[in-house]
Amino acid sequence: MKKKEFSISYESYADITELSEADSLLFTQARVATQMAYAPYSDFKVGAAALMENGELVSGSNQENASYPAGICAERVLLSTASSIYPGKAIKTMAISYIGKGKKSTRPVAPCGICRQSLMEFEQRFKQPIRLILGGMQGEIYIFNTIKSLLPLEFSGEDLK
């Protein structure tokens, strides 16, 4: 038997003021996108913004449904939008923020499992890592250089062969 470990590295910033100008702009767009969320059931609004390889910005927000499985997360809304508007273009960086009604939004939260898998597929499709900026409306912000950091045992098309 061999014991093995996964380790991840990421950058941690005290708040948005420590980010570069470009990252701050993108993260601000993710915060703004939370206002477009439709979340009448959970009151948990998520916004995502992406910098495409062509320099364009795309955003998305979560869209809930009374039939819970029919809802879609902000990250996957963004991926669908990016693929529709800019087919064949990779995402360089994605920022994700959130706010909950009456709740503090002061710590980074990571994408759910299905979004991690969807983001991984996008990385694999374009053979380019997606930088990920995670944070709330205030407080600490994390930056990961690839989605693989959040999904070390990814499932891919290679597994289907």
Q: Give the max Cα distance, the chain.
A: 51
> Residue 75 is inside which H or E element, if any?
helix 74-85
CA Rg value for the chain:
16
Concatenated DSSP letters for 18-51?
GS-HHHHHHHHHHHHHGGG-B-TTT-EEEEEEEE
CA separation for the pair 132, 93 (Å, rounded)? 6
Annotated catalytic residue within 5, 11, 56, 75: 75
Start-to-end CA span in the chain (Å): 28
Query: Which residue from 104, 109, 100, 82 is spatially nearest to 34, judged by alpha carbons?
Result: 100
75 is catalytic: yes
- Catalytic (active-site) positions: 75
